Amino acid sequence: MQPLFEIRQLFFPVIFVLVNQEYDSKKHFEPELGVFAELRKIPRKKNMWSMNLTVFTPPDMEKYSFPYSFHLMANAVLEHTVPVDMTKEDIKKMKQLLYVNGASVTYSAVRDRLLLLTGNTPYAPYCLPSYRFDPEHYHESSARNKGISDQQ
């Protein structure tokens, strides 16, 4: 069976990790993280898609006893070939799969990068929690204007 896509490029245009020097592990509180995923067709590039993913702590981190503040953005360029005999409904499902799988693979890369960056600090390395990307968050109208997003 042929894979759904191949990752042609993966890069991190923004990486920001700040260690909280006043962190108290006895008062540890895990903030709700922001997750934003966007899938776009790359114009004039046949079968190429861009998956942009941002994972971040809330801006009001001074309210939490948490060892890190961070904002990471990752971009994956995915190559996918659509079989010729697909119906419009099949293509819609394929785009949803591309969105969910592309976001999940990119999220995993962000998790690895954050583990690497937080592993050399006075506190324990931070591993991002599991996250489910919902195929229902893929909307064609959003793709044309703002991208396809999945926000927590």
Model confidence band, residue 149 (pLDDT cutoffs 50, 70, 90):
very low
Q: Where are the beta strands (DSSP E) in 33-123?
A: 34-41, 48-56, 68-79
Beta bridge partners of 55: 35, 72
> What percent of the chain is modeled with pLDDT above 90?
62
pLDDT above 90 (res 75): yes
Taking phi first (over 0 means left), then psi (-120 to 50 degrees means alpha), and beta for anything else, what does residue 39 get? beta
Q: What's at 35, amino acid-wise?
A: V
Spell out the domains of the chain, with CATH numbers in brackets: 6-127 (3.10.420.10)
Q: What is the Cα–Cα distance from 92 to 138, expressed in whole angstroms?
A: 9
Q: How confident is the model at residue 3 (pLDDT cuts 50, 70, 90)?
A: confident
Does the pLDDT at position 141 exceed 50? no
pTM, two decimals, is 0.86
Q: Please list the residues that pair with 35 across neighbouring strands.
A: 55
Is the pLDDT at 143 greater than 60? The verdict is: no
pLDDT at 1: 58
